Structure 1
Amino acid sequence: MVRIILNILLIALILFFCIRVNKSISLSSNIVNTENQICTDSLLMQNLLQKTLDIKELQQYYPVDEVKDRGCLILMKNEMILKEYDLKKMGKNVVFLSREEIKQKEITAYIEFTKIQLEDNASSVTLIYPTQGIYCRATFDRKECSWILKVSEIIER
């Protein structure tokens, strides 16, 4: 009888230990997953786009008046930018429109990213701003989930 009770206690202790270990493993997995999710591909892209829009030499070309389509910055959605990101310029949210919407609304002041090349630790970006007649190329180095401008070049057409 004592032996049966000891076996039951031993089994209960083993089950209790297994449950505790499993919870511990599960909690540590969530922490790892949470840490990995902090810097998602989407956040990396958003940070890259914002850093590009914030290039010092580009600032002089952005609209500062409230003329028709120049009250806020407009980015064209294309194969480089398939979705909207939380970007700000001149204290306003950047507006994302498709090529068709831009044509339909007869908007002339917009930026189009023509190349975005993301690598593990670096990226390169090319954009055009047709109404201002500029073309911009920039390369960035990645630091965690942020981007540091390495080189930028603006060409006026």
Structure 2
Amino acid sequence: MRRTMPAPPRQAPQTREPEQAGTAGTGEQGAGAERDTLRTEFSFELPRGYVDDSGTVHRHGVMRLATARDELIPLRDDRVRENSAYLSVVLIARVITRLGTIEDVHAGIVENLFASDLAFLQDFYRRINAEGHTRAAVTCPSCQEHFAVDLAGGRLGES
């Protein structure tokens, strides 16, 4: 006969990372418990912008965090199988939820972006999914001062 004591209920660790861009703590009302929230969508502004068939330029958009599924599904796409460089086009199209007034962003739209905009989105994707923020360390070419720039958008002089 085995005698064992019931195991105490397991509790999730109560660790909390310092708040960064993209996370914010909110309290639950009534329960008094603290809950962390995760920022899953990030606004951006393209350097040039997507020009649609009517000539409208779309620069502001929203990208969501990628899931494992987002990274796996494009691998089954015939266009990606034929040309592995097409992977980034399909992947970026999956995670952009809005571009200007366009809410149905698909690979055809991403294909027609200017090369500088696609490069921006690839870097933006890497930053929010791998690093968890949209800031980039830069150095002033004149004074060699080091500072951070938020790639999520905004114009020079805006805070």
TM-score, normalized by the shorter chain, greater than 0.5: no
The higher-RCO structure (CA 8 Å, 6+ apart) is: 2
Q: TM-score when scaled to structure 2? A: 0.31
Q: TM-score when scaled to structure 1? A: 0.32
Structure with the bigger percentage of helix: 1
Larger radius of gyration: 1
